[in-house]
Structure 1
Amino acid sequence: MKNRITLITGASRGIGRATALLLAQQGHTLCINYRSQQAQADEVVALIRRNGGNALAVAADIAEEQQVVAMFQRIDRDLGPLTGLVNNAGILQQQASIEQLDAQRIATVFATNVSGSFICAREAVKRMALRHGGQGGAIVNVSSAASRLGAPHEYIDYAASKGAIDTLTTGLSLEVAAQGIRVNAVRPGLIYTDMHADGGEPGRVDRVKAHLPMKRGGQPEEVAQAIAWLLSDAASYVTGSFIDMAGGK
């Protein structure tokens, strides 16, 4: 596909950042979405431009529908017709068991992890679908091994939100396949990112990696490779599929 224009949500750090840098090397024009970490997002854009790529940083909290709509309108205006979406932005709260959860926490997690991904997918389909004059495209949802494993005693609300992303991936892939849009997901496991600090345990990967068949945590760059492949023409006959990246667990 020529002139690939791709939005990555939550691209200022971790898997989103690694994916942005890799896709830029592969010739994608990128929208680097962030919620609050402007300096880090600007750094990603600067790295891409320094290496001859094209990128734009756009602030938007994907839990807020109007901010998502405005972001897509900015892409239309400043970059051109969208061909790729990586639904990467996600949040988790402090580790907790079921007795410690309340409705507000659950709603906050689902607003970003589920509703935000749905709204981003909606706006992307409006632009990519053949029936709307689009040229097709690809959507990659960043789910989690937690959707299969449940994250007991730590993040069952986060795990449930990623279960919803798995169902979105399956359902949407069937809904838009005839419109030239492929929808797939990656399910990372224990990856060395800052997200573990958000949950209150920065060293979580090192604590539990011995329980993995591969005996190590993963790197964001490894997940980025799978995302890039799913976006590429090399995966042109792949839709509704999941790549598990959890060290064998």
Structure 2
Amino acid sequence: MSRLTLVTGGTRGIGAAIALRLAADGHDLVLGYARDDRAAEEARLAAEDAGARCAVVRADLTDPDGVDRLFAAAAEHGHLTGVVNNAGATLHIGPLAETPPGIVAATIDLNLTAALLVARAAARALGTSYGGPGGVLVNISSGAATLGAPGEYVQYAAAKAGVDALTHGLAQEVAADGVRVVGVAPGIVRTTIHADAGDPGRTDRVGPRVPLGRVGEPSEVADAVGWLMSDEASYVTGTTLRVAGGR
């Protein structure tokens, strides 16, 4: 059976690396993105160069209608067999007491509420009782979910802890519906997420403190996602794989 996978936040950073890995594994792709049209076009061309059919769809996942539109657009390309629930951002770096309430709300909205809505849509798109073919949902969490990220982004860590609970609970709900639900929790990874939040030097500062002595690369997270979506992981569900260099 051909594989068609939707990757949210699939055109930059870890999401773009996941897209490339899945393209190499024979997946056709639909990549969701928020606003960077240039990055979306570059990601599409890279996936096609790797052998995939690839479409990009601009959608605001903090709007329930945006989630519906993204999945409707994906369905135009066939039956989804996989979803990577990757879109997220820290948005801010600083102690919780100094984080504006609007930033706290926006962080939860993007990293947890939107992730829940994407997971809900994935269960309906993939589940056999809804006419889907079965498949795999991968939720991208964070090592911060267990470390707490004190002094940096406690609200982001709390949202990602919710994503871990989502993975564990939803996996049990949909196991009989032909759907595996798994998670990947990256540690500090070399992407623009840190600069986007106002701390471009974070990777250089934190990397040496990781037990393996360096930051991770997006491709290393993508390799974990590729394995979890493969038949080699057919007995893996309800768990989150940590890719964090020992932290």
| TM-score (ref. length: structure 2) | 0.97
Cα pair distance change 1:227/1:51, threshold 3 Å? closer
After superposition, the CA RMSD in angstroms is 1.0
The answer for the alignment partner of 1:52 in structure 2 is 51
Task: Report deviation, 1:101.
Answer: 2.3
The answer for the alignment partner of 1:141 in structure 2 is 139
* 1:56 aligned partner, one-letter code: A
In 2, Cα distance between the equivalents of 1:51 and 1:199?
Answer: 31
Task: Report deviation, 1:38.
Answer: 1.0
Structure 2 SS opposite 1:186? strand
Is 1:3 the counterpart of 2:5? The answer is no
Task: Report deviation, 1:201.
Answer: 1.2
**Match 2:95 to one of 94, 97, 102:** 97
Is 1:227 the counterpart of 2:225? The answer is yes
Structure-to-structure mapping, 1:83-122, within 5 angstroms: 83-122=81-120
* 2:246 aligned partner, one-letter code: G
Structure 1 range deviating more: 24-33 or 44-53: 44-53
The answer for the alignment partner of 2:20 in structure 1 is 21
* 1:19 aligned partner, one-letter code: I
Task: Report deviation, 1:103.
Answer: 2.6
Structure 2 SS opposite 1:44? helix
| TM-score (ref. length: structure 1) | 0.97
CA offsets 1:198-229 (integer angstroms, 9 cap, x no match): 12111211111221111110000000000011
Structure 2, unaligned stretches of length 5 or more? none
Structure 1, unaligned stretches of length 5 or more? none
CA offsets 1:111-149 (integer angstroms, 9 cap, x no match): 111111111111111121111122111001110000000
The answer for the alignment partner of 1:192 in structure 2 is 190
Structure-to-structure mapping, 1:30-179, within 5 angstroms: 30-77=29-76, 79-179=77-177
Number of equivalent positions: 247
Identity of aligned residues (%): 43
Structure 1 range deviating more: 68-77 or 140-149: 68-77
Deviant stretches of 4+, over 3 Å: none
Task: Report deviation, 1:100.
Answer: 0.9
In 2, Cα distance between the equivalents of 1:241 and 1:52?
Answer: 30
Residues 112, 163 of structure 2: 8 Å contact kept: yes
Task: Report deviation, 1:50.
Answer: 2.8
Structure 2 SS opposite 1:86? strand
In 2, Cα distance between the equivalents of 1:23 and 1:50?
Answer: 12
CA offsets 1:6-45 (integer angstroms, 9 cap, x no match): 0101111110000001101111010111100111111111
In 2, Cα distance between the equivalents of 1:115 and 1:212?
Answer: 30
Structure 1 SS opposite 2:183? strand
